[in-house]
Amino acid sequence: MKIAKITLALGALSLFSLSAGAQENARLSSVKQFADVVLDKAGDRYGHHSPLLANGVDPRTGKQMEWVFPDGKVTVLSNFSAQQNLMRVLVGLSNLTGEAKYKQRVAENIRYYFDHYQDASGLLLWGGHRFVDLKTLQPQGPSEKEMVHELKNAYPYYDMMFAVDDKATARFIKAFWNAHVYDWKTLETSRHGEYG
């Protein structure tokens, strides 16, 4: 009787284990499908061959979301600061699947940003008041705040940034402190800093 109960319990556990494994595979498959769609639909469609991604894609049409300025100018917003958690997902996906393409795209984005959108002080042209127009690859932002650096609710993926370029990352961190610490004696800071 005891052996039958143990056998039944082990059988139930193995079924549960198979079911849990199938659920994990389904979840991983969903994340992979999401990442593949993002890389396909949010990528550069404008002939620049940049690794940058649009911040939004209409799930019904696949069209990249546009930002319309008050003067009517239309841009496709690409704000790398708002994509930091996506970058973490992509690297994690490479780690889980062994497919290097996701982590490679993250490295390409970071390299591209350091090469094209790091100002003389070391700050990156990103955040609450700056972004890149994916159509033109030019930095954009509201005219009254285009010289304001802001990282609000954005957490740079420093581990990956250091892996791609430790010197450029250190420059960014130093520039961030220099732009956002207003009083070094009291360490008074502001979420707003100035470029340059």
Model confidence at 22, pLDDT cuts 50, 70, 90, reads: low
- Which residue range(s) make up the domain with 47? 2-194
Q: What is the pTM of this model?
A: 0.85
What are the tokens at 28?
């991983």
What are the tokens at 162?
């250091």
* Rounded alpha-carbon distances, angstroms, from residue 161 to 61, 137, 145, 171: 33, 21, 26, 11
Q: Which helix (H) or strand (E) holds 85?
A: helix 84-97
- How many C-beta atoms lie closer than 10 Å to residue 92's C-beta? 14
16: left (phi over 0), alpha (psi -120 to 50) or beta: alpha
Model confidence at 153, pLDDT cuts 50, 70, 90, reads: confident
CATH number of 79's domain? 1.50.10.20
| DSSP E strand boundaries for 69-135 | 74-75, 77-78, 131-133
Q: Using one digit for the tens of pLDDT, what is the confidence trace for 42-81?
A: 999 999 999 999 999 999 999 999 999 889 999 999 999 9
Name the nearest CA neighbour of 109 among 137, 130, 129.
137
Number of domains in the chain: 1
